[in-house]
Amino acid sequence: MAFDTAENSGFWARYKLYVLAALALVAGLWFWQRSTRPTPVVVVQAKAGPAERVLAITGRTRPQVTVTILPKVSGQIVRLTREEGETVRAGEVLVQFDADAPRAAVDEVEQQVASKQRARAEAQRNFERIEQLKERGLATLKEFDQARFELDQAQVELQRIAASRREVTARLRDNTLVAPVTGVVLSRPVDVGQVVSTSSVIYGIAPLSDVEVEADVDEQFLAEVHEGLKADVLVAGRARPIPATLYYVSPKVDPRTGGAKVRLRLNEEVDGLRSGLTADVNLVVERRDTAITVARSAILGRDQTARVQLVRDGVVEEKRVQFLEWPSERVIVLAGLDAGATLVSQPRPDLVGQKVAPTTDASAVRRGERPRGSDARKAM
């Protein structure tokens, strides 16, 4: 029995050793595989083709000019058809004044015209009668001259009152004001019932064809900005960008903001475009027919220390590059890189010299998955 107990003890001891050895072998194999398996990394490519440097700024729409509506006659306002912010079409009625006084003036002047016409007709008949009597020697030269003078005076009076009739008739016609342009009402400083003069402003209208965009450019970019630059402007509430041209750069920098005002003229007329809307402006400061560009995230450092991490034959190596520093997602490479090069999208110093599994699928790298063969080949 003692022999059997000793033999069993030796068996279990050897069994434990075998199990521990197997576990150590499995762990070693696992760690060896982990150490030799390529690290998955997201990569991007250096691309060749037309390139632009775009400055993104934000501004607001504003009227390039304001049309001021003034009355041609004094009077009391009885009707105003538009409120501030509303759109008006050219030719639409904006204002109506009290027509009673102008209409009474027209009636009065018509009576005066009729009276002067009768007076002139009477003077004409008297002149013709005196003329006939003079020819027969029955009227003196003095009587003839007096009749002609009275006829001339009657004619002058008729012409004067006729001019007055044209004036009061025009005043009645001017009792209604219409919009001279299509635009948006910026201001309406008067109300119905108010008595106004010919110097009173009734409306201020911003023509839709003359809306522009005003924005600020930071002083560090002013050297790149000049008149004539093209831009795309996306106005709040609009789905499509509007082409525009920069036509004004302020000569002064605002010390409070550190920027200068610029203004852009829209190259298309857009119906219903209001003043004061937010406008996102992509200003093209440079165009190149051909250039090599890379994602800004693929570059480490700046100026003399700028470098990228190339993936060549599955191994990461570092290389210095020169590029145009610019606040954009892609930058123009001046030297140190060829088109088609595969770069680590988010370079890290510890990747240099390592074997990697390149992929363009960032989500797979976050999940810790190995890239599929097609992804790896596409990235390379």
For range 86-115, the mean pLDDT: 76
Percent with pLDDT over 70 in the chain: 82
For residue 377, what pLDDT band results from cuts at 50, 70 and 90? very low
Start-to-end C-alpha separation, the chain: 71
Work out the pLDDT band at 100, boundaries 50, 70, 90.
Answer: low
pLDDT in the model for residue 276: 85
Mean pLDDT, range 197-223, rounded to an integer = 90
Residue 136, pLDDT score: 84
Q: Pick 56-64+205-288's CATH classification: 2.40.30.170, 3.90.650.10, 3.40.50.720, 3.20.20.70.
A: 2.40.30.170
110 has a pLDDT exceeding 90: no
The segment with the largest mean pLDDT, out of 21-25, 46-50, 243-247, is 243-247
Q: What is the pLDDT of residue 50?
A: 92
**Lowest-confidence segment of 10-24, 67-81, 152-166, 275-289 by average pLDDT:** 10-24
Q: What pLDDT score was predicted for residue 33?
A: 46
pLDDT tier, 170 (very low <50, low <70, confident <90, very high otherwise):
low
Of 5 and 252, the one with more pLDDT: 252
Which has more pLDDT, 244 or 175? Answer: 244
Specify the higher pLDDT residue, 375 or 220.
Answer: 220
Report the pLDDT value the prediction gives residue 172, as an integer from 0 to 100: 60
Q: Residue 35: is its pLDDT beyond 80?
A: no
> Of 259 and 28, which is predicted with more confidence?
259
Q: Which residues of 329-366 are buried (b: 16+ CB within 10 A; e: fewer)?
A: ebbbbeeebeeebbbbbbbeeebeeeebbbbbbeebbe
The CATH class given to the 99-174 domain equals mainly alpha
Mean pLDDT of 208-236: 92
Q: pLDDT category, 3, cuts 50, 70, 90? A: very low
Between 15 and 110, whose confidence is greater?
110
Distances (CA, A) of 342 to 5, 294, 346: 68, 10, 12
Residue 375 or 348, more confident? 348
pLDDT greater at residue 156 or residue 27: 156
Banded model confidence at residue 270, pLDDT cuts 50, 70, 90: confident
The answer to whether residue 224 scores a pLDDT higher than 50 is yes
CB 125 within 8 A of CB 119: no
pLDDT at residue 6 is higher than 90: no
Burial state string for 113-150 with b = 16 or more CB within 10 A and e = fewer than 16: eeebeebbeebeebbeebeeebeeeebeeeebeebeeb
Query: How large a percentage of the chain has pLDDT more than 90?
Result: 32
188-194's contacts with Cβ under 8 Å and 24+ in sequence apart are 188/80, 188/82, 188/83, 188/84, 190/77, 190/80, 191/77, 191/80, 192/77, 192/78, 192/79, 192/80, 193/76, 193/77, 193/78, 194/76, 194/77
The reply to whether domains 39-49+290-379 and 99-174 share a CATH topology is no
CA-wise closest residue to 155 among 202, 121, 126, 187: 121
The residue with greater pLDDT, 169 or 298, is 298
**Residue 284 — very low, low, confident or very high, per pLDDT cuts 50/70/90?**
very high
The rounded distance, in Å, linking the Cα atoms of 83 and 230 is: 35
Q: What are the boundaries of each domain within the chain?
A: 1-36, 39-49+290-379, 56-64+205-288, 99-174
pLDDT of 146-155, one tens digit each?
888 888 888 8
Give the pLDDT confidence score for residue 249 in this predicted structure. 96
Q: Does domain 39-49+290-379 have CATH number 2.40.420.20?
A: yes
Q: What is the mean pLDDT of residues 310-327?
A: 89
